[in-house]
Structure 1
Amino acid sequence: MSATPAPTTATTDSRDDLVQHGAKAHSDGGWDASDRKVPVQTRSERFASTDPAAFPDVTGREVDWKLSPVANLRHLIDGPLDGSPYAYLARETPGASVDWVSPSHELVGRAGTPEDKASANAWSSVENVLLITVKGDEPTTITVGRSGLDDQPRAGHTVIHAEANSSGLVILLNSGAANLVENVEIVVDEGAHLTIVSVQEWDDEAIHLGSHFSRVGRDAQLKHFVVSLGGKVVRINPSAHLAEQGADADLNGVYFADAGQHLEQQVYVNHDAPNTKSRVNYKGALQGEGARTVWIGDVLIGRTAPGTDSYEQNRNLVLSEGTRADSIPNLEIETGDILGAGHASATGRFDDEHLFYLESRGIPEDEARRIVVLGFLSEIVQRIGEQGLQDRLIAALEAELAGGAAARAEADANAATTA
């Protein structure tokens, strides 16, 4: 996504003895030229490297870690990782292929470079890279499933390549136990149309850190979906580099956090070429004590991107007390020649008026809740365009809601017994 920036060189004025009247060094300003600290002014300047040793130790105060449960992730951030090939399930599909390749393959590193220590740790630990290729003139759909990773700290690296003028849907299904940190690179060549759906249905104690880097070529289109339902801690950070004229990125996400679950997404869109377009739309629901979600959206419209059309939004629906949703949209514009740019964020509790309206028409409370919440979340799911997967995900969301209804009923029964 971004190249490693050149080291910032401190410069000193030849008149160092002259000090502005009334000015003095701030406690965190780093005014001393011998130890000048220049803050990162824009998202594209964030440090990146494939070497984990190049990153400082993670303390949990960094901008990209401060909302994450670092104590639970330490073993993946800087501990040893098993980078050997793992078992996956994929049917032979016309117009698509899946192969293990060397980390020195020409496509590895083309879409991006790690911007955090965990991602770099995984990058440097893998022995082989899983290459998924979409090719040909006819649309194709391929599903790659993983369900046997066990709970040992593991590294993964996947490259998804859509060749020029191809059209495909790639579904990544994740389930079972996991202690995984991985990089997913997505390369969309000129005129290609690619849809990626990453589904996280991990076991309750699973931990998954993922960095998705994508590079979208001339007049190409990428639709990217992150669906996070299972796992103790799931942090998926998608980024899209609109590198050539006419590139189009549509980034979507849906998540449902239960009690004690942490689901996080840090999204980055880099408009780096003329007449590019992006849409970011993430929706989530939270229920249960300690349910936590984090969404951070960064959009950069660079000086080289006139004619940009961009919009990002995040919506969160709070279904019970004791939850927390962080939602932080950011927009940087470096050129005045754009078609449009904007962002929006909203987090709110369940609407009692909607609930009352449905109950007044004879619909039981639990069914009324199901209708409202599914209507809220299914907008994202229905945009995937693959009916079988959409039905499966709607059923999974209904199961999440049913679990919440059962928990509420149990809590009400316990309260009545205590009274």
Structure 2
Amino acid sequence: MTSTYTEVEPTFVPVQTRSERPHSFDPAEFGAPTGREVNWKHTPVAQLKPLFEPAAQNDGVAYSFVSGEQFVSSPLAQGAAPRGEVFLAEDVTAAVAWQGAAEATHIRIPREQEVAEPVVLEITGQGAERRADAHIVIEALEHSSATVVLQHTGTAQYAQNVEIIVRDGARLTVVTLQQWQDDAIHAAAHQARVGADATLKHFVISFGGGLVRVNPSVELAGNGSEGYLYGLSFADSGQHLESQVYLHHKGAHTTGDVLYKGALQGEGAHSVWIGDVLIGKDATGTDSYEANRNLVLTEGARADSIPNLEIETGDIVGAGHASATGRFDDEQLFYLQARGIAEDEARRLVVLGFLSDIVQRLGIPSFQEELLAAIEAELAANAAVGAGEGAR
């Protein structure tokens, strides 16, 4: 019997895990995404196309400090430390923002200083067709404490990198608040490294914008470091709100908690949450948990939720993940209505109770009031739409 041997070409295996993704500061290395890539398949890439090339004028947004301008250091050119100490672009929009931002804004909290009032940077879009690229470095030196808030309003086409460095023993809270107009496009990559016995609280809060994609990546590098990643979104008709979250436990005895909550209403409202947690081989004694929960308020809305967990050591305290998407809890509504509360008011209370958990974790009373008011406004708009549909 004669046998023949045919050489078979090796099968291409695409990158699946977050830790394996390539990095480059050259947009050409990535090329324009097609929507088939693992990190783009839930994103309307055609809508994001303006951010695949550096901005020609880079005048799409204006920056102003509401408070804390005394903590702004000299701008950082490419190659000027600490710019690039932590940040590595992992997709084309991050590489574009790196190349397009000739200088980076540098917010620097001095060593051992406790800053009571939040440092607030307002980022205001200058027009729907205007483009901007940015790189922002937020650095908390050893044993310092501060809160930094990035507020986005107006409309623009905005590619943004935020590089966060939390030195040993520091405590830093970073809040990015998206209240764009409906035609804004915003793609942001937040990358952080947390030192020994340091703590980072990171909030992504998205209410406005046509397409908002904010992807945080946090490395708990030092022993005893802690990372708390929280998110809140409210997607309306036609809005796409997305976050791809990566938490890397690298040091020993690290603690991580990820909780994102979202509400959706209206035809075509779409939220995407992808959560990746990696517990590295040296991250012994780690305690980590991630969860995403979504409340769908109307027909025609869609929430995609994908949790992933990689564990490279068996010596951990605990690790887990969870995801849930659903409509109103009928039992909760019945309980409230049985006590004389009208159905519309009962629904409002259920949504507020669901989302206010994230708001309360901020610990900034003025912002908590502002966000609760924004949620109320979203609910009122939904009620008005429902009333209009009923009239027809």
Same fold flag (TM > 0.5): yes
SS at match of 2:317: strand
Greater CA drift, 88-97 or 279-288: 88-97
- 1:272 deviates by 1.2
Paired residue secondary structure (2:64):
coil
Partners in 1 of 2:290 and 2:163 — Cα distance? Answer: 22
CA distance in 2, matches of 1:365, 1:90: 43
1:170 aligns with 2:145: no
In 1, Cα distance between the equivalents of 2:300 and 2:61? 38
* Counterpart among 122, 127, 139 of residue 115 in structure 2: 139
Structure 2 letter corresponding to 1:56: G
Counterpart residue type for residue 101 of structure 2: V
Equivalent pairs counted in the alignment come to 387
Q: 1:202 aligns with which of 180, 202, 205?
A: 180
Contact map agreement 1:82 1:126 (CA 8 A) in 2: no
Whether the 8 Å contact between 1:85 and 1:128 is mirrored in structure 2 is: no
1:149 maps onto 2:123 in alignment: no
Worse-matched range after superposition: 134-143 or 54-63: 134-143
Alignment equivalent of 1:376, drawn from 349, 354, 365:
354
Aligned to 1:6: none
Determine helix, strand or coil for the equivalent of 1:200: strand
Q: Secondary structure at the match of 2:146?
A: strand
CA distance in 1, matches of 2:281, 2:251: 9
1:342 shift after superposition? 0.3
Match of 1:74 in 2: 49
- Whichever residue aligns with residue 376 of structure 1, its letter is F
Residue of structure 2 in register with 1:250 after alignment: 228
- Give the Cα separation in 2 of the matches to 1:154 and 1:95: 25
- Between the aligned partners of 2:135 and 2:311, the Cα distance in structure 1 is 32
- One-letter code of the match for 2:114? E
Secondary structure class of the residue paired with 1:171: strand
Is 1:100 paired with 2:100?
Answer: no
Q: Would the alpha carbon gap of residues 115 and 213 (structure 1) be closer, same or farther in structure 2, given more than 3 Å must change? A: same
Structure exhibiting the larger radius of gyration computed from Cα positions: 1
Aligned partner of residue 219 in structure 1, secondary structure: coil
**Are 1:237 and 2:237 counterparts?**
no
- Listed one character per residue, the Cα deviations across residues 107-132 of structure 1 (whole Å, up to 9, x for unaligned) are 11112211111111111111211111
1:269 aligns with 2:240: no
Contact 1:248 1:277 in 2 (8 A): yes
Q: Which residue of 2 aligns with 1:341?
A: 319
Aligned match of 1:279: 257
Partner secondary structure for residue 275 of structure 1 = coil
Aligned residue type for 2:123:
R
CA contact (8 A) 1:84 1:128 kept: no
> Conserved in 1, the CA contact under 8 Å of 2:68 and 2:120?
no
- 1:333-390 Cα deviation digits (max 9, x unpaired): 1111111100000000112222222122221222111111000000001000010010
Asked if structure 2 preserves the Cα contact closer than 8 Å seen for 1:217 and 1:245, the reply is: yes
Q: Can you list the C-alpha shifts for 1:264-310, whole angstroms capped at 9, x where unaligned?
A: 00000111111111100000000111100000000011112111111
Shift of 1:98: 5.4
Deviations 1:226-258 (A, max 9, x none): 000000000000010111111110000000000
Conservation of the 8 A alpha-carbon contact between 2:32 and 2:52:
no
RMSD: 2.0
Matches within 5 A, 1:278-297: 278-297=256-275
Moved over 4 A (4+): none
Give 1:247's aligned amino acid: S
* Structure 1 counterpart SS, 2:253: coil
1:55 matched to 2:33? The reply is no
User: Which runs of 5 or more residues in structure 2 are unaligned?
Assistant: none
Relative to the length of structure 1, the TM-score reads 0.88
Query: Which residue does 1:40 correspond to in 2?
Result: 15
Measure how far apart 1:199 and its partner are.
0.4
Residue deviations 1:168-217 (CA, integer Å, cap 9, x gap): 01111110112101100000000000001110000111110000000101
Match in the other structure for 1:89:
64
Are the structure 2 counterparts of residues 320 and 138 from structure 1 closer, same or farther at C-alpha, using a change threshold of 3 Å? same
The one-letter code of the counterpart of 1:111 is: V
The answer to whether 1:188 aligns with 2:166 is yes
For 2:260 and 2:247, the matched residues in 1 are separated by 14
Say whether residues 1:213 and 2:187 are aligned partners. no
More deviation in 83-92 or 356-365?
83-92
Q: Tell me the TM-score normalised to structure 2 length.
A: 0.94
What is the CA–CA distance in structure 2 between the aligned matches of 1:48 and 1:378, rounded to whole Å? 37
Q: Which residue of 2 aligns with 1:309?
A: 287
Of residues 331-340 and 132-141 in structure 1, the stretch that sits farther from structure 2 once superposed is: 132-141
Instruction: Report SS of the residue matched to 2:208.
Output: coil
Q: Post-superposition shift, 1:43? A: 2.3
Aligned residue in 1 for 2:329: 351
Counterpart residue number, 1:417: none
- Give the superposition deviation at 1:148: 3.9
Q: CA deviation at 1:84?
A: 5.8
Q: Give the secondary-structure state (helix, strand or coil) at the position aligned to 1:410.
A: helix
C-alpha separation in 1, matches of 2:74 and 2:125: 18
Gaps of 5+ in 1: 1-16, 26-30, 415-419
Instruction: Quickly say closer, same or farther: Cα 1:59–1:400, change in 2 above 3 A.
Output: same
Q: In 1, Cα distance between the equivalents of 2:136 and 2:330?
A: 44
Contact 2:190 2:214 in 1 (8 A): yes
